[in-house]
Amino acid sequence: MKMKIIMLGAPGAGKGTQAIMIAEKYGIPHVSTGDIFRANIKNNTPLGQEAKTYMDKGMLVPDELTVKILLDRVAKDDCKNGYVLDGFPRTIVQADVLKDALSKLGDRIDHAINVDVPDENIIKRMGGRRACLKCGATYHIEHVPPKKEGICDNCGEALVLRDDDKPETVQKRLSVYHEQTQPLIDYYGKEGILKNVDGTQDMNRVFEDICGILG
Ligand code: ADP
Ligand code: ADP
Ligand code: ZN
Protein backbone atom coordinates (compact mmCIF):
# COMPACT_ATOMS: atom_id res chain seq x y z
CA MET A 1 0.00 0.00 0.00
CA LYS A 2 1.36 3.42 -0.95
CA MET A 3 1.11 5.74 2.00
CA LYS A 4 2.53 9.12 3.00
CA ILE A 5 1.94 10.02 6.62
CA ILE A 6 2.75 13.03 8.80
CA MET A 7 2.91 12.76 12.59
CA LEU A 8 1.84 15.91 14.44
CA GLY A 9 2.03 16.53 18.18
CA ALA A 10 3.98 18.28 20.91
CA PRO A 11 7.55 17.27 21.72
CA GLY A 12 7.25 14.07 23.74
CA ALA A 13 3.71 13.25 22.62
CA GLY A 14 4.87 9.88 21.33
CA LYS A 15 5.24 10.68 17.61
CA GLY A 16 8.51 8.80 17.29
CA THR A 17 7.28 5.79 19.24
CA GLN A 18 4.20 5.50 17.00
CA ALA A 19 6.07 6.32 13.78
CA ILE A 20 8.46 3.41 14.35
CA MET A 21 5.50 1.01 14.80
CA ILE A 22 3.74 2.39 11.71
CA ALA A 23 6.92 2.08 9.64
CA GLU A 24 7.31 -1.54 10.64
CA LYS A 25 3.69 -2.55 10.07
CA TYR A 26 3.32 -0.83 6.70
CA GLY A 27 6.86 -1.43 5.44
CA ILE A 28 7.69 2.24 4.86
CA PRO A 29 10.67 4.23 6.15
CA HIS A 30 10.49 6.29 9.34
CA VAL A 31 11.89 9.72 8.51
CA SER A 32 12.73 11.86 11.55
CA THR A 33 14.41 15.22 11.04
CA GLY A 34 15.41 15.18 14.73
CA ASP A 35 17.17 11.82 14.23
CA ILE A 36 18.94 13.15 11.12
CA PHE A 37 20.15 16.20 13.05
CA ARG A 38 21.26 14.10 16.04
CA ALA A 39 23.19 11.70 13.78
CA ASN A 40 24.96 14.71 12.27
CA ILE A 41 25.75 16.11 15.72
CA LYS A 42 27.16 12.74 16.78
CA ASN A 43 29.40 12.67 13.70
CA ASN A 44 30.29 16.34 14.16
CA THR A 45 29.38 17.34 10.60
CA PRO A 46 28.96 21.04 9.61
CA LEU A 47 25.18 20.46 9.48
CA GLY A 48 25.29 18.96 12.98
CA GLN A 49 27.31 21.87 14.34
CA GLU A 50 24.82 24.38 12.97
CA ALA A 51 21.71 22.45 14.03
CA LYS A 52 23.03 21.96 17.57
CA THR A 53 23.18 25.70 18.25
CA TYR A 54 19.40 25.86 17.78
CA MET A 55 18.43 22.50 19.25
CA ASP A 56 20.24 23.06 22.55
CA LYS A 57 18.24 26.26 23.04
CA GLY A 58 14.96 24.50 22.30
CA MET A 59 14.56 26.49 19.09
CA LEU A 60 13.72 25.23 15.63
CA VAL A 61 16.47 24.76 13.08
CA PRO A 62 15.86 27.33 10.29
CA ASP A 63 13.34 26.29 7.63
CA GLU A 64 15.75 26.64 4.74
CA LEU A 65 18.20 24.13 6.16
CA THR A 66 15.55 21.72 7.42
CA VAL A 67 13.55 21.68 4.21
CA LYS A 68 16.61 20.84 2.12
CA ILE A 69 17.52 17.89 4.38
CA LEU A 70 13.98 16.55 4.29
CA LEU A 71 13.47 16.88 0.53
CA ASP A 72 16.80 15.12 -0.10
CA ARG A 73 15.77 12.31 2.21
CA VAL A 74 12.33 11.67 0.69
CA ALA A 75 13.79 11.75 -2.83
CA LYS A 76 15.72 8.56 -2.01
CA ASP A 77 14.62 5.30 -3.56
CA ASP A 78 13.33 3.68 -0.36
CA CYS A 79 10.71 6.46 -0.04
CA LYS A 80 9.02 5.79 -3.37
CA ASN A 81 6.25 3.71 -1.78
CA GLY A 82 5.64 6.24 0.97
CA TYR A 83 7.02 7.18 4.36
CA VAL A 84 6.08 8.34 7.82
CA LEU A 85 7.39 11.81 8.67
CA ASP A 86 8.14 12.37 12.36
CA GLY A 87 8.96 15.93 13.41
CA PHE A 88 8.44 17.46 9.97
CA PRO A 89 6.76 19.78 9.06
CA ARG A 90 7.01 21.99 12.15
CA THR A 91 6.11 25.33 10.53
CA ILE A 92 3.61 26.49 7.92
CA VAL A 93 6.53 27.32 5.60
CA GLN A 94 7.77 23.72 5.83
CA ALA A 95 4.26 22.39 5.18
CA ASP A 96 3.88 24.60 2.11
CA VAL A 97 7.25 23.56 0.68
CA LEU A 98 6.40 19.88 1.15
CA LYS A 99 2.99 20.33 -0.43
CA ASP A 100 4.46 22.12 -3.47
CA ALA A 101 7.25 19.56 -3.91
CA LEU A 102 4.73 16.71 -3.84
CA SER A 103 2.21 18.41 -6.09
CA LYS A 104 4.92 18.86 -8.74
CA LEU A 105 5.09 15.05 -8.76
CA GLY A 106 1.30 14.78 -8.88
CA ASP A 107 1.37 13.50 -5.33
CA ARG A 108 0.16 14.46 -1.85
CA ILE A 109 0.24 13.51 1.84
CA ASP A 110 -2.45 10.95 2.68
CA HIS A 111 -2.81 11.29 6.47
CA ALA A 112 -1.76 13.80 9.14
CA ILE A 113 -2.07 12.10 12.52
CA ASN A 114 -2.19 14.39 15.53
CA VAL A 115 -1.05 12.64 18.71
CA ASP A 116 -2.80 14.75 21.33
CA VAL A 117 -1.19 15.02 24.79
CA PRO A 118 -1.67 17.96 27.20
CA ASP A 119 1.41 19.92 28.35
CA GLU A 120 1.22 18.60 31.96
CA ASN A 121 1.70 15.01 30.77
CA ILE A 122 4.52 16.05 28.45
CA ILE A 123 6.62 17.61 31.20
CA LYS A 124 6.29 14.40 33.24
CA ARG A 125 7.27 12.20 30.32
CA MET A 126 10.33 14.01 29.06
CA GLY A 127 12.56 13.61 32.10
CA GLY A 128 12.18 9.85 31.78
CA ARG A 129 12.92 9.65 28.07
CA ARG A 130 16.14 7.89 27.07
CA ALA A 131 17.35 7.88 23.48
CA CYS A 132 19.62 5.72 21.37
CA LEU A 133 21.62 8.07 19.16
CA LYS A 134 22.78 5.17 17.00
CA CYS A 135 19.48 3.66 15.78
CA GLY A 136 16.91 6.27 16.88
CA ALA A 137 15.05 4.01 19.34
CA THR A 138 13.38 5.75 22.28
CA TYR A 139 12.68 4.40 25.76
CA HIS A 140 11.16 5.63 28.99
CA ILE A 141 12.62 4.69 32.36
CA GLU A 142 9.13 3.84 33.70
CA HIS A 143 6.75 3.37 30.77
CA VAL A 144 9.01 1.78 28.15
CA PRO A 145 12.14 0.45 29.88
CA PRO A 146 14.85 -1.29 27.85
CA LYS A 147 15.47 -4.97 28.66
CA LYS A 148 18.87 -4.11 30.12
CA GLU A 149 19.08 -0.79 31.97
CA GLY A 150 20.79 1.95 29.97
CA ILE A 151 21.34 -0.21 26.86
CA CYS A 152 19.43 -0.13 23.54
CA ASP A 153 17.49 -3.36 22.87
CA ASN A 154 18.02 -3.04 19.12
CA CYS A 155 21.68 -2.23 18.79
CA GLY A 156 23.40 -2.40 22.19
CA GLU A 157 24.38 1.30 22.25
CA ALA A 158 24.39 3.15 25.60
CA LEU A 159 21.19 5.19 26.05
CA VAL A 160 21.35 8.91 26.84
CA LEU A 161 19.18 11.69 28.23
CA ARG A 162 19.03 14.15 25.34
CA ASP A 163 20.60 17.57 25.98
CA ASP A 164 17.31 19.19 24.99
CA ASP A 165 15.20 17.06 27.39
CA LYS A 166 16.27 19.10 30.44
CA PRO A 167 13.23 20.74 32.09
CA GLU A 168 14.13 24.36 31.09
CA THR A 169 14.56 23.39 27.46
CA VAL A 170 11.38 21.31 27.45
CA GLN A 171 9.40 24.41 28.52
CA LYS A 172 10.94 26.43 25.71
CA ARG A 173 10.21 23.66 23.16
CA LEU A 174 6.59 23.53 24.29
CA SER A 175 6.15 27.27 23.77
CA VAL A 176 7.84 27.02 20.35
CA TYR A 177 5.46 24.15 19.58
CA HIS A 178 2.37 26.17 20.49
CA GLU A 179 3.54 29.18 18.47
CA GLN A 180 4.95 27.59 15.35
CA THR A 181 3.77 24.00 15.01
CA GLN A 182 0.27 23.79 16.51
CA PRO A 183 -1.17 25.91 13.64
CA LEU A 184 -0.48 22.89 11.41
CA ILE A 185 -3.40 21.09 13.05
CA ASP A 186 -5.73 23.63 11.43
CA TYR A 187 -3.72 23.57 8.23
CA TYR A 188 -4.19 19.83 7.73
CA GLY A 189 -7.76 20.07 8.99
CA LYS A 190 -8.47 22.38 6.07
CA GLU A 191 -6.69 19.96 3.73
CA GLY A 192 -9.15 17.33 4.94
CA ILE A 193 -6.52 14.80 6.03
CA LEU A 194 -6.28 15.45 9.79
CA LYS A 195 -6.92 12.56 12.22
CA ASN A 196 -6.74 13.02 16.01
CA VAL A 197 -5.70 10.30 18.44
CA ASP A 198 -5.62 10.45 22.23
CA GLY A 199 -1.91 10.18 23.01
CA THR A 200 -2.39 9.89 26.79
CA GLN A 201 -3.40 6.24 26.40
CA ASP A 202 -1.03 3.32 26.70
CA MET A 203 1.24 3.21 23.61
CA ASN A 204 -0.35 0.01 22.26
CA ARG A 205 -3.81 1.57 22.53
CA VAL A 206 -2.61 4.65 20.67
CA PHE A 207 -1.25 2.36 17.98
CA GLU A 208 -4.56 0.49 17.69
CA ASP A 209 -6.34 3.81 17.14
CA ILE A 210 -3.83 4.76 14.45
CA CYS A 211 -4.18 1.40 12.70
CA GLY A 212 -7.95 1.92 12.74
CA ILE A 213 -7.40 5.19 10.88
CA LEU A 214 -4.84 3.91 8.38
CA GLY A 215 -6.75 0.69 7.67
P1 ADP B 1 10.83 15.66 19.74
O2 ADP B 1 11.06 14.17 19.75
O3 ADP B 1 10.88 16.23 21.09
O4 ADP B 1 9.59 16.06 19.01
P5 ADP B 1 12.71 15.96 17.59
O6 ADP B 1 13.68 14.87 17.72
O7 ADP B 1 11.65 15.83 16.56
O8 ADP B 1 12.07 16.28 19.01
O9 ADP B 1 13.46 17.35 17.33
C10 ADP B 1 14.50 17.78 18.20
C11 ADP B 1 14.93 19.18 17.78
O12 ADP B 1 15.45 19.13 16.42
C13 ADP B 1 13.84 20.22 17.74
O14 ADP B 1 13.61 20.81 19.01
C15 ADP B 1 14.41 21.22 16.72
O16 ADP B 1 15.43 22.01 17.29
C17 ADP B 1 15.07 20.30 15.71
N18 ADP B 1 14.14 19.92 14.63
C19 ADP B 1 13.69 18.67 14.34
N20 ADP B 1 12.83 18.70 13.30
C21 ADP B 1 12.75 20.01 12.91
C22 ADP B 1 12.00 20.70 11.92
N23 ADP B 1 11.16 20.06 11.08
N24 ADP B 1 12.17 22.04 11.82
C25 ADP B 1 13.00 22.70 12.64
N26 ADP B 1 13.71 22.12 13.61
C27 ADP B 1 13.59 20.78 13.75
P1 ADP C 1 8.08 12.44 20.37
O2 ADP C 1 8.71 11.75 19.20
O3 ADP C 1 6.70 12.94 20.08
O4 ADP C 1 8.95 13.51 20.95
P5 ADP C 1 8.58 9.96 21.84
O6 ADP C 1 8.02 8.90 20.97
O7 ADP C 1 10.06 10.11 21.88
O8 ADP C 1 7.87 11.37 21.52
O9 ADP C 1 8.03 9.73 23.33
C10 ADP C 1 8.39 10.59 24.41
C11 ADP C 1 8.64 9.76 25.68
O12 ADP C 1 7.41 9.20 26.14
C13 ADP C 1 9.57 8.57 25.46
O14 ADP C 1 10.31 8.35 26.64
C15 ADP C 1 8.62 7.41 25.19
O16 ADP C 1 9.21 6.16 25.54
C17 ADP C 1 7.44 7.76 26.08
N18 ADP C 1 6.14 7.36 25.52
C19 ADP C 1 5.78 7.28 24.21
N20 ADP C 1 4.47 6.92 24.08
C21 ADP C 1 3.98 6.81 25.35
C22 ADP C 1 2.68 6.49 25.89
N23 ADP C 1 1.63 6.26 25.09
N24 ADP C 1 2.56 6.48 27.23
C25 ADP C 1 3.62 6.77 28.04
N26 ADP C 1 4.86 7.06 27.60
C27 ADP C 1 5.05 7.10 26.28
ZN1 ZN D 1 19.86 1.59 19.26
Q: What's the pLDDT tens digit per position in 172-190?
A: 999 999 999 999 999 999 9
What is the span of the domain harbouring residue 17? 3-118+171-214
Residue 113 lies in a domain: yes
CA pair distance 201, 155, nearest whole angstrom? 28
**How many CA atoms lie within 13 Å of 78's alpha carbon, on the beta-carbon side?**
9
Read off the CATH number of the domain in which 104 is found: 3.40.50.300
Residue 129 lies in a domain: no
The separation between the first and the last C-alpha atoms of the chain, rounded to the nearest angstrom, is: 10
CA pair distance 211, 150, nearest whole angstrom? 30
CA pair distance 46, 28, nearest whole angstrom? 29
Residue 207 lies in a domain: yes
Please check the confidence at residue 1 and state whether its pLDDT lies above 70.
Answer: no
Residue 150 lies in a domain: no
Quote the pTM value.
Answer: 0.96
Ligand closest to the CA atom of residue 150? 3
Total domains in the chain come to 1
Q: How far is the CA of 163 from the centre of ligand 3 (A)?
A: 17
Ligand 1 atom 1, closest CA = 11
Mutational pocket test of ligand 1: of 60, 67, 86, 171, the residue with most ligand atoms within 8 Å of the beta carbon: 60
Residue 162 lies in a domain: no
Please check the confidence at residue 57 and state whether its pLDDT lies above 90.
Answer: yes
Ligand 1 atom 15, closest CA = 60
Hey, how many other C-beta atoms are within 10 angstroms of the C-beta on 124? 11
Residue 77 lies in a domain: yes
